[in-house]
A = this chain, B = another copy of it.
């Protein structure tokens, strides 16, 4: 198995910069759309044989250095007692949003093998399928991001219901985050036991918060999760978007690797994070729609920007968008591998 992804997470020298793409398995791939024509999103997630197929689709056709479990960050909500579904074109809908102390109290902390056995089975099957190819990444949603879906009842522009709850019911907020943290902690540990060789914690929407609010309402919970999961020894990627003002606080919360979006140069972000952590990023997913010479020059700029320092995992700053041209994704993975800029680490 080539292990350059895991080596980069640990800031060890690598032959070429490893690359994978958030949402590398998804709607931009015709193979995926063919399956989705026959199965719902939740059916794909809940059927290990299908989730394995979807996970492997990009591994077969794109030169990625890691496979990432096909699943959804919201899956733990159902065994917690908050079922949901994906409304056509509208994103997730949580049937009974959580907006009271009582609703928080009703949420259950569950054993992953009972509540999400199908995800763990998918991981076990995947390790068998992948052996000798590339490492397998598991993932979970972070407590704030999960709480925001639970409270808003779906996706949101301004997160006003989430913040209303956070400011108005701080004790219930912390109780909610504590439950979500315990669920997430157990879930990530179970994924690692089932075969995940790295895990990513998605705090996708945390960039909506001020630094003070992050430190007061979120950081202690995330820190508990990350510290526990890092104790297993597998690399943990701590990811968010719009986090330019939060990077230092996210680093303080933990993570072997910190995800960085495209809004600032990767080297500037890395300096703020500190060179004792690895970084992942930071190609703008919208730039995958550009003509190839633009894609190449932008990828080159990122690789040059951090050249010579081990600990960079090339990725996007957020997930691949559904209308992205597959060929550009393939060429980009190949380009990252072929580009010599980072081949000879000079500052280990």
Contacts and interface: CB of A to CB of B under 8 A. Distances in A.
A164 B289 contact: yes
A167 B263 contact: no
A220 B167 CA distance: 41
Contacts of A294: 167-168
A284 B163 contact: yes
A143 interface: no
A211 interface: yes
A167 B291 contact: yes
A75 to B, nearest CB: 22
Nearest to A242: B242
A77 to B, nearest CB: 22
A321 B286 CA distance: 28
A265 B160 contact: no
A175 interface: no
A221 to B, nearest CB: 20
Given A163-B287, A168-B290, A246-B263, 10 more contacts: A160-B285, A160-B286, A163-B284, A167-B287, A168-B291, A168-B294, A209-B263, A211-B263, A213-B284, A244-B244
10 contacts: A160-B286, A160-B289, A160-B321, A163-B290, A164-B289, A167-B290, A167-B291, A210-B263, A212-B265, A213-B284
